[in-house]
Every structure is written in C-alpha cells, then in structure tokens.
Structure 1
Amino acid sequence: MKVAIFAESFLPHVNGVTNSILRTLEHLRLRGEEAVVIAPAGSLVNELSGRAVPRRYQGFKVVTVPSVPLAMYPEVRLSTASVHRIRKILVNEQVDVVHLASPFLLGSKAMRAAQELGLPTVAVYQTEVPAYAARYKFPWLAERLWDHVRSIHNAADLTLVPSSFSYQQLESLGIERLKIFRRGVDTAQFAPHRRNEAFRKAIGPNSERLIGYVGRLSADKQVEDLKVLSSLPGTRLVVVGSGPMAQELKAALPDAHFTGFLSGARLAEVMASLDVFVHPGESETFCQTIQEAMACAVPVVAVGRGGPLDLVDSSRTGWLYEPKALHELAYRVSDLVYDEAKRSAFAAAALESVRDRSWQRIGDELLEHYDFVRSLVASRSA
C-alpha cells in the first residue's frame, strides 16, 4: 500500500499536525508500507539558511508545491497548488490511498484530485480553523470557514476526529462518516525520571513551584490568560514555545521564564520538572502536550472545552475550568500548587491514565482505517 499524505504544514515548522504526520510516517516505515508527503514549499530565506522543507523523511519522498506566507504568521505557508498539479502528482506516485492531514487549502484541492481519480480518502480533523477567525479579529469569516470544513469532510470517505467534543462538533454540522481517532504518547521520552533538579533550582532558586505551559505562542492558545497566575506566591511560570506573540507575551508576563522552542529530550526534561501543567487554549481539538505532561507525572489544569474534556479526569488527574473563568484557573492551580499530597495523588493518577496510549497501537488503528476506505471504494466500483 502506498499512502499520499497531504500536509498543510510540515518540517521545519513544528506543530501538532506536523508531529502527527511524523509519527504516521514512522509507523508506515515500521510496517513496511510506502508513502509520499505533499506539503507547501518553504520560503526562499529558509531554503538559503538551511531550514528548507526536507526532501525525504524516514526514507519517504517529500514533494513540495507552491505556497505563500500567511500574513500574520509567516512561518505558516499557504499552498497555491492547482487541482491539476496535485492530480498529476498522485498519478505519478501511483498511490493507493490519500491521507489529508488537517485539510483546508491544500487538502481541499487534494480532495478534488482524489475524487477525480477515484482514490479512497481519509481526512484527519485536527485544527478548529474557524475558531481562529475571532482570535485573529475576523469573526465574520467563521461561518464561511465552517462551510469550507463541512465541504471537505463530507467529501471524504472517512473523517477521523481526535476527541468526543470534535465528533459532536462535526456531527452537528451535518458531517457524516466520522470515527474517533486519538493520539499516542511516547512514554519512553516523556517520563517522570526526566525530572531535572538543576533546572528547577535555576528557575526557582527559592524552591518555587513551577507552573508550565508548552505550545505555540499565538493568539489562539490564549497564553496571555496565564497572567492571572502571576499573583500566586512561591511560584514561577515557565513558558515553552515560540510564535508570533513571543515578544508581546514576554511583556505581559515579565516574571515568567521563557525557554523558546524545545524538542526531544530537553523538552521532556522541562515538562517532567514542572509541578503543574496548564493549558488555557479553548480551540484545542486534542492537545497532545496534556498527554505528554501526564506521562511525566505532572497534573494538569486546562480549560474545559475541546480535547481536554477527554484527557483530564477532573478531580483525579487534574482540573478543568470553565472557559473564560480565569479566577477558577487561578483557584485550581493554587489548589494543586499548595497541597503536596493532592498534587502527588493527581500526578500518580495522571501517569497511570496514559500508560497504554502507545503510538504503535494508534498507528495500527490508522492502517485499519486505510484498509476500510480502500475496501469501501472497491465495493463502490464493483
């Protein structure tokens, strides 16, 4: 089986969608399948500076198509490829199934090309793009964006959603052929033994409790909401990530420690060194960093909307708070920060809750979904 994975974003830009694609490619390689990635080309500046989109990953070819930068977030590239160009790529690569990762612009063109060729399609819903409209001051666009989402996913042979909230959300839009498809977590990389006491002493020299956020520094993540935690005595906020709001957030959170973008073992060390993990973003379809914090035995306080509803068992592995109720965010964080026994109990429960969420099991589920759509399309053609 050869899979064409259409990526709205890909390396070197790292986000939740990119990470999921990388895991999928790793599993396809493990199982002896074939793949090709189609992604927007990077900027000329990145090409010249050695940060180009890689030509191969895990031995699989990466094909780039023309793109332009998103005005307010130039790291994000928007594909301008035509349906004709994408159809030609699919024919040349002789693919058996089309995987649309968080489809929107490139994904919509790829969907049309796949339909014209009679290829089976799996669309993976990962980004609540219409919710960004209000965050980026274009609320009038939200309805049109939802129409676009509906059009793409109703054309797919199968749409995989990461959470029960997303399932209900898309079902309410009239989108059919939905299945829940969660994410795995690397419990070898993200683990309690990664805790780094030297890092804790450097950031909290007076034995401060460390409250941490990991993710993009962009408007949709609502990191500025964490300002409500600045009044908690004996604590220090740690912000891990990069993005267009980095400087603005540093000004808004002057006492916080900003690490910049981290990955690999260093990211795991910092996450395992936290006492409480926080995530204020209301538009998360899943929120992988919550699972990673839990795998490090760090309890979580997250907004009670979207993916966190499935991940956080409130009053056992962490706390959920009502959207926009920032006083409750501060209260829930202080409840764990100042109660060591409760924090330890929540941490142990959080770790136990993610023990069986291996990427290998998730990858095998995805292969089953590929087989399902292939047989579905074959039966229609018979």
Structure 2
Amino acid sequence: MRVALVAEQFLPHVNGVTHSVLRVAEQLRARGHRVMVVAPSYEKVRGPETVPELPGVAVERIPSLPLAGYPEVRVAGCTVHRMQRLLESFAPDVVHVASPFVLGWRALQAAASMRLPSIAVYQTDVPGYAGRYGIGALEPALWAHVRTMHNSATLTLAPSTASVQQLQKHGVQRVHRWGRGVDTARFRPELRDDAWRERVGGGRRIVGYVGRLAPEKQVADLAVLDALPDARLVVVGSGPEKQALRRALPNAHFEGFRSGAALASVMASFDLFVHPGEHETFCQTIQEAMACAVPVVAVGRGGPLDLVTPSHNGWLYPPGDTARLREHVRDLLGDDAKRLAFAATAHRTVQDRTWESVCSELLGHYEHARAASPLPPTLRTRLARRVGVR
C-alpha cells in the first residue's frame, strides 16, 4: 500500500503523536509499503526532507508557528488545495491522520474531497485540556470541532476503552479501538543503573514521573510525594511548567528531557512509576515503565484504566484523591515483596504488546477503510499515472 501519514506534531518535537507516527512508519516500511509523512515545519526544518530514523520515507514540511506559551508545539497552516496537491502527487491508498486538529483537519477535508479512504487517530484530549488552561468555556466548541473532523473520516481509531466511549458520547461515529505498542527491546529491566540511583536517590527508593511538564499532566499533584521518608521523587521531562514545578516540588530531582536509551535507563532505575494526568487517552509511559518491570500508580481515568490492573501490576486512585495516591505509593514502597511481585506482573503484562502486532492490527483497519470507501476507477487510474504505477 501507499500510506500518507499526516502528523499534527513531529520531529524534532517528541511526544506521543511523534512517537506513534515514527513507529507506524517504521513498521510499514519494514513490510514493504510506501510511506509519506506530512508534518509541521520548524525553524531549521522546512520543505521536503529525509529523516535518519526513517530511511525511504519522504517528509513534507508545512509552514507553522509556535503555540503561544509552548513554543515546542507547532501549529501548521495549510489550505485544503495544497493538501490535495500533496496527496495527489503521492497517490495514497489510505490517508492516516494522527491526532487531527488543524493540519489534520485539512488532510481529512482533502481526503474527503478526493474520495480517498481516511483514518483519523484520536490521541489528544484537546477539549479536556481547555479547563486546565483556564478556557473551559470553549470545551463545547472544541468537542463540536472534534466531532466534525472525525465524522468526516472513513474510520476513527481510539487508543483505549475510555476514549472510545468518550468519542461515542460526543457523537463521533465509526469508532474502533486501536492500542499502542511498546518497544520491549529498548525498555527492559536490565538497564537499571545503580550508580545513577545512588547519585540521585542516595540509597532511597525512587518514585518517578516521565512526561510533559504542562498543566494537563497535573504534575503538581505529586507534591504529596515530595517529602516521603526514605524516597526521592524524580521528574523527567520538559515543558512550560518546569520552573513552577521546581518551586512546588522543592525536594524532587528534575532530570530534564530524556529520550532513547537514556530514557530507558532512567525508567528501569525507578522503583515505582506515577502518573497523575486525568486526560490521558492512552499513556504510553505506563507501558514503558511496565516493560522495565516497574509497577505503576496512576489516576483511575482514561487510558490507564486499560493498562493498570489494581493489586496485580499497580494501583489506580480516584481522580483528585491525592491522599489515596500517597497511600498507594507508601503501600508499595513499604512492602518490598508486594512491590517486586507487582513489578514481575507488570513486565509480563506488556510482553505481547509489540509494535509489530499493533501494526498488523492497523493494516486490518486500513483494509476496512479501503473497503468502506473504494476509489472510483477513474480516480485510481489518474492517481496511478501521477506516480507511474500501473
């Protein structure tokens, strides 16, 4: 197949959207499919380019501007007509749109106008973020936009049971669940770094968080863990709340942004992973922690509900109940036998959740979309001629 991947965010900015697009493109190329990525530009990256991590994949950059207050996030402007030209030049069999909102909306409009099968992948709870950024009054309008976008797609894929139900509640149709894989070769318990643990923890247990330092992640809720006896809170990541969180968590160690092997080593060095964000559509970092044999304490809402089985691989606490968060953390830190049993179960939990298996499922969704929205013969012939396909 020829697959156009349209990403609302992409390299050099690394987040959940970027990561999933990279893994999907990587898997598609490994299976012999042709891939094009359409993504926002950055100051030093404009126009077509090649990405070392994606050999054989062309990346088309669309002019963008930094999001106010969060310059790492880009907002790309593109007309439907320009997107039509890009798609026509590549002649995709399916258009895969990752976390559509601005650029992705243009791609869905272009695909619909060209009668191309399209997949809209729901990854970011933008309406839910509104309240965290003090603009809760916009939530109904944001949901209306999400509903319009996703209902224009042939299929919508949501990463968790909770996100499927959330979209259906707000009137989105043709929603299917499609989870995320985890790289168990990269994230593994053998990477535990005792020297780093001693330097950062000084012999104490380490409770770690990994993710953006932004309001929607609710990292400030971890203040209830900041002064736990015999434990050190470690925060890994960057974002607009970094300085405010340093003040709110004066005893925590801020590791900064980490990726690749460095991130895997830090995560494997945790004794416990915590995630307080209530707007996670999936929460990939939970899977990565489990792959490192690290048990999890997370808020019982959204994506974590599918990932954490209480009393087996971690604990879930009610949204907003930070006293229960503290109680669960103290429970696992104070009982080595229980924590190690949870860790072993966490590790087993994710071993079959590979990107290979997840992308095999994705290809099934592509075929479903193609069957539901077949190209007219005249359009297929015209697109094929554009790229010399017979």
Q: Same fold (TM over 0.5)?
A: yes
Q: Which amino acid aligns with 2:26?
A: E
Kindly report which structure 2 residues correspond to 1:22-41, keeping only aligned pairs within 5 A, or say none.
22-41=22-41
Q: Which amino acid aligns with 2:152?
A: A
Matching residue of 2:355:
359
CA distance in 2, matches of 1:79, 1:231: 42
Deviations 1:287-328 (A, max 9, x none): 000001011111000000000000000111100000010111
Matching residue of 1:344:
340
Kindly report which structure 2 residues correspond to 1:260-279, keeping only aligned pairs within 5 A, or say none.
260-279=256-275
Kindly report which structure 2 residues correspond to 1:228-377, keeping only aligned pairs within 5 A, or say none.
228-377=224-373
Superposition deviation, residue 381 in structure 1: 8.0
Match of 1:104 among 98, 101, 109: 101
Deviations 1:248-282 (A, max 9, x none): 11121121111111111111111111111000000
- Pick closer, same or farther for the CA change 1:335–1:54 going to 2, 3 Å: farther
CA distance in 2, matches of 1:54, 1:172: 40
Matching residue of 2:77:
80
Kindly report which structure 2 residues correspond to 1:95-244, keeping only aligned pairs within 5 A, or say none.
95-205=92-202, 207-244=203-240
Superposition deviation, residue 245 in structure 1: 1.1
Q: Which amino acid aligns with 2:133?
A: Y
Deviations 1:80-109 (A, max 9, x none): 111111111111111111001001111111
Q: Which amino acid aligns with 1:293?
A: A
Instruction: Say if 2:48 and 2:60, in contact at 8 Å, map to a contact too.
Output: no
Number of matched pairs: 376
Could you tell me the percent identity over the aligned residues? 55
CA distance in 2, matches of 1:58, 1:335: 47
Instruction: Say if 1:10 and 1:53, in contact at 8 Å, map to a contact too.
Output: no
Matching residue of 2:388:
none
Superposition deviation, residue 331 in structure 1: 0.5
Superposition deviation, residue 47 in structure 1: 4.7
Q: Which amino acid aligns with 1:162?
A: P
Deviations 1:175-222 (A, max 9, x none): 1111110111111111111111111111112x1000000001111111
Superposition deviation, residue 380 in structure 1: 8.4
SS at 2:328's partner residue? helix
TM-score (norm 1): 0.96
Kindly report which structure 2 residues correspond to 1:2-41, keeping only aligned pairs within 5 A, or say none.
2-41=2-41
**Please, which runs of 5 or more residues in structure 1 have no aligned partner?**
none
1:62 matched to 2:59? The reply is yes
CA distance in 2, matches of 1:96, 1:380: 12
SS at 1:259's partner residue? strand
Instruction: Say if 2:116 and 2:375, in contact at 8 Å, map to a contact too.
Output: no
**Please, which runs of 5 or more residues in structure 2 have no aligned partner?**
379-390
TM-score (norm 2): 0.94
- Pick closer, same or farther for the CA change 1:379–1:100 going to 2, 3 Å: closer
SS at 2:187's partner residue? coil
Superposition deviation, residue 53 in structure 1: 9.0
Superposition deviation, residue 58 in structure 1: 2.6
